[in-house]
Amino acid sequence: MTKWLNMEKITSGTWYLVSVKMKKRDIFLKYLDLMIAKNHLEELILGVEKPVDSMYEDNVLVNLSNYHEAVSHLKNIDTFLNIQRKPIPLEAVNRML
């Protein structure tokens, strides 16, 4: 099972914002967790966080070691819509959490 980060402040990583289908974030997270375990993607998808603000209710933050390889896996999850190409600054990640 994926280890969800329970840190008060994120201090490192390359974080991206993933958009999922409306009201399907928990389903996306469940399938992401299964995909990581089944395909041994722990070194590719380094962290996953759920933003707390309601404006991000259909988004997930992911910490990736390789953007292009991760996108190819994320696209296989039915509730995945897209991922921002540009990493999010750590200050912005911390504001979302």
Average pLDDT, the chain: 90
Phi and psi for 91 in degrees, rounded to 5? -65, -40
Own/partner pairs, 64-71, CB within 8 angstroms, 24+ separation: 64/14, 64/15, 64/16, 65/14, 67/14, 67/16, 69/44, 70/41, 70/44, 70/45
- pLDDT of res. 97: 85
Domain ranges for the chain, please list them.
23-96
Q: What is the mean pLDDT of residues 2-7?
A: 47
pTM of the model: 0.88
Q: Could you tell me whether strands 45-49 and 15-20 are parallel, antiparallel, or unpaired per DSSP bridges?
A: unpaired
- Whether 84 has a pLDDT exceeding 50, the answer reads yes
pLDDT digits (tens, 9 = 90+) for 65-78: 999 999 999 999 99
